[in-house]
Structure 1
């Protein structure tokens, strides 16, 4: 599999040094997990009292599955973003795909705020549908620079689509 950068706009990437690369790997992981922690904090406000009172659609996973899957997906997202940055060699050249990545990460956090914080499954549905589109757009944008980075986001898109089903199910069953 080719993980070399696609020559976007005729530019060739100059690889960052090993120390800078490692530092930025930790930065990407830290940023993604800070967003994850913020979402988790919002989720914790109603996951034990309001959420259990809701009717759920079929195939909802056990509660312990969600943090396990999300931590794995957040780690893959951070690695994917880092790979795009590393492939391009700079934020100038990776700005567009990383901006889309940032938008989808923001939408991911917004879902927790809307669904659990505001206790609004309907607003959660709107957000998660836009999130699905943003994740797909991120995969497409990442693929232009690093195919492995794009592939690392495919499980996230699949889980996001499953979350869309669950969110719509909760919204419909609890009108």
Structure 2
């Protein structure tokens, strides 16, 4: 039998591949944005997100392997998928609209979706809940960075 983490990880990779196809003009716009001077760890952000995605995949795998009814499993897997889409939509949609404010709304919405997921996972499996914590800690930071970029990029509101 194929391990759940491999199936869930493969689905996450496929979704990421499909959503994260940012047109080059949009990506150049994103790279030209001014960042706050205090943002000194930008080089580490891709690694932070990789770590968070690994944690989310492991959390979803634990939930899938937990002995709960299939309806609850499907609900939770749908929320995990929705959270991944929200995370990936941040850059894709923000760049398409060329609006940092859109990024703030997507980032904030993703955080609240993560809180809802964490609330439901809390009653299902504590190990899976602990693996959601990196996202719940980092998401508000990333959203705040986007918010702090708005005054530096008045043409990108």
Normalising to structure 1: TM-score of the pair?
0.76
Q: Is 1:139 equivalent to 2:132 in the alignment?
A: no
Count of matched residue positions in the alignment of Structure 1 and Structure 2: 154
Q: Distance in 2 between matches of 1:129 and 1:72?
A: 20
Answer yes or no: is the 8 Å Cα contact 2:107–2:143 preserved in 1: yes
Q: Is 1:168 equivalent to 2:144 in the alignment?
A: no
Alignment match of 1:110 (pick from 89, 107, 110): 89
TM-superposed CA distance for 1:44, in Å, is 6.4
Answer yes or no: is the 8 Å Cα contact 2:55–2:132 preserved in 1: yes
- Secondary structure of residue in 2 paired with 1:172: coil
> Once superposed, what is the RMSD of the aligned Cα atoms?
2.2
TM-superposed CA distance for 1:94, in Å, is 1.2
After superposition, the C-alpha distances for 1:10-45 in whole angstroms (9 at most, x for unaligned) are: xxxxxxxxx25x1x2211111222233345432866
Structure 2 portions without partners, runs of 5+: none
Q: Is 1:37 equivalent to 2:17 in the alignment?
A: yes
Q: Is 1:99 equivalent to 2:78 in the alignment?
A: yes
After superposition, the C-alpha distances for 1:129-167 in whole angstroms (9 at most, x for unaligned) are: 111101111111111111110110101111111111111
Q: In the superposition, relative to structure 1, how do residues 31 and 61 fare at CA in structure 2: closer, same or farther (>3 Å)?
A: farther
Normalising to structure 2: TM-score of the pair?
0.84
Q: In the superposition, relative to structure 1, how do residues 166 and 137 fare at CA in structure 2: closer, same or farther (>3 Å)?
A: same
Structure 1 portions without partners, runs of 5+: 1-18
